[in-house]
């Protein structure tokens, strides 16, 4: 499948009825496994990639992310949307360059967030944030493929649970040209409903622990896309930790009974 076809397929997922799940692999192997399980699209995770490299989130360079995107794009035929963090720079043109480089690496979508990386001022002022989204959108829409740009408002992940400001930012990012809108950290149906009803672009929601909101309910709320961030990577890490603790602390190898059969992994990689 060509990149053009994958880009068109990804756009089509946002235009059909209901919400679709978009899981987040952290390496080529997990991407192949998710494709084998029948998912229709994938999204990368900055935290999952960082953990896989033994680092903290936001401690991976743009060059390393681009290498990661190329590896995943070569490993699977599925459309991939890239977590491009804050574009790897404050300047709007850096965001635009990051979008163009991501497309060259093979992905068909990507997100730009409004988090600065500075704990003393974690969110860009609205004017600068809009300029960054606008530059990224112009770059995305100038490409030969229909690249899907997602704009992220990071308020809720950085101690600013201001729903009105979050909605105002998403509306501004919509006007700046974003194709999909995303405010990770929403935890209630009321919050999700308020965001969806305030914009006219597809909305991505991050599935959150303990909310009890499943995919069917997300669809009823008007959500278009549901991602899980680094949660699958953490779930895999939990399985490793629990098995290793059992082996180390009790000498038991009973955890082998829950391990994925090698035949299933082999089937995913064929």
98-117 burial, b at 16+ Cβ within 10 Å, e below that, comes to bbbbbbebbbbbbbbbbbbe
| pLDDT score recorded for residue 10 | 99
| pLDDT score recorded for residue 80 | 99
149-181 burial, b at 16+ Cβ within 10 Å, e below that, comes to bbbbbbbbbeeeeebeebbebbbbbbebbbbbb
Mean pLDDT (whole number) for 210-218: 97
pLDDT band at 6 (very low <50, low <70, confident <90, very high): very high
| pLDDT score recorded for residue 30 | 98
- Reduced to 3 states (helix: H, G, I; strand: E, B; else coil), residue 150 is strand
Mean pLDDT (whole number) for 146-163: 98
Mean pLDDT (whole number) for 234-247: 98
Domain ranges of the chain: 3-230
Mean pLDDT (whole number) for 98-123: 98
| pLDDT score recorded for residue 232 | 98
| pLDDT score recorded for residue 249 | 98
CB burial of residue 93 (10 Å; 0-12, 13-18, 19+): middle
- Secondary structure element (H or E) that encloses residue 108, with its range: none
Computed over every residue of the chain, the mean pLDDT equals 98
The answer to whether domain 3-230 has CATH 3.20.20.60 is yes
CA angle at 41 for the pair 210 and 116, rounded to the nearest 5°: 65
Percent of the chain with pLDDT over 90: 99
- Secondary structure element (H or E) that encloses residue 110, with its range: strand 109-113
For 228-270, list the strands marked E by DSSP.
Answer: none
| pLDDT score recorded for residue 14 | 98
């Amino acid at each position: 499948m060509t990149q053009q076809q994958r880009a068109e397929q990804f756009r089509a997922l946002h235009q059909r009825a209901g919400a679709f799940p978009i899981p987040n692999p952290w390496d080529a192997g997990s991407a192949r496994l998710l494709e084998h399980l029948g998912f229709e699209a994938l999204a990368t995770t900055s935290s999952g990639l960082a953990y896989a490299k033994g680092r903290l989130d936001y401690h991976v360079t743009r060059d390393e992310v681009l290498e990661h995107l190329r590896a995943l794009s070569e490993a699977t035929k599925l459309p991939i949307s890239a977590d491009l963090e804050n574009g790897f720079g404050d300047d709007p043109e850096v965001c635009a360059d990051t979008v163009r480089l991501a497309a060259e690496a093979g992905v068909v979508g990507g997100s730009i967030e409004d988090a600065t990386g500075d704990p003393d001022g974690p969110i860009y002022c609205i004017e600068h944030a809009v300029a960054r989204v606008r530059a990224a959108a112009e770059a995305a829409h100038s490409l030969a493929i229909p690249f899907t740009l997602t704009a992220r408002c990071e308020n809720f992940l950085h101690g600013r649970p201001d729903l009105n400001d979050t909605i105002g930012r998403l509306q501004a990012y919509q006007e700046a040209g974003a194709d999909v809108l995303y405010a990770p950290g929403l935890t209630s149906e009321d919050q999700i409903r308020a965001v969806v009803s305030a914009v006219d672009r597809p909305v991505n929601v991050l599935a959150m622990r303990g909310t009890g909101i499943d995919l069917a309910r997300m669809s009823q709320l008007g959500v278009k896309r549901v991602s899980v961030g680094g949660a699958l990577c953490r779930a895999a890490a939990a399985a490793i930790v629990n098995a290793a603790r059992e082996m180390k602390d009790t000498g038991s190898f009973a955890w082998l009974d829950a391990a994925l059969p090698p035949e299933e992994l082999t089937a995913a990689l064929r």
